[in-house]
Amino acid sequence: MRLIRKWQTKKSTIGEFTIDNSDITGYILEEKGPDTTISGIEQRIPIGTYNLVWHNGTKFKNVLKLYNNEVNINRAILIHAGNSAEATEGCLLPGSSRSVDWVSKSVDKLNEINEYVKSIGIENAKIIITQEYE
């Protein structure tokens, strides 16, 4: 998965994503900037390449969790359903369309992403986050 951050406000960051070797595209809403590796302050994670594992916590089950050498797996940066900055808690929220501080049809897009990752195997999946702000 490739995520290019493009739009930011005082509340959120939104980018466009594509998944290699598929026709899956959409938007991801994240926390506002600046980027940080520190957990618990509701800011987005740094650009970079992230590994993925399946997460089954008390609040979210069967969702993807991101981590790399800078962002610890225990920070629990998830890709889960949600529409607004208030729902992110540092996580990535997928959607089919976007408006200011909002993505739509998040559950459908999340299911599409998860089904694709299951089909290729989690060990073959990564997310690459870059930025090209407009």
For residue 60, the enclosing domain spans: 2-131
Collect all residues with Cβ–Cβ distance below 8 Å to 55 and sequence separation of at least 6.
Answer: 61, 62, 63, 64, 65, 76, 78
* Encoded tokens for 80: 């889960």
pTM of the entire predicted model: 0.96
Domains identified in the chain, total number: 1
Which tens digits make up the pLDDT trace of 59-74? 999 999 999 999 999 9
Task: For residues 100-119, give the mean pLDDT.
Answer: 98
* Encoded tokens for 60: 């979210």
DSSP state of 88: T
Q: Which amino acid is at 61?
A: K
Residue recorded with tokens 């899956």: 24
Which tens digits make up the pLDDT trace of 18-51? 999 999 999 999 999 999 999 888 899 999 999 9
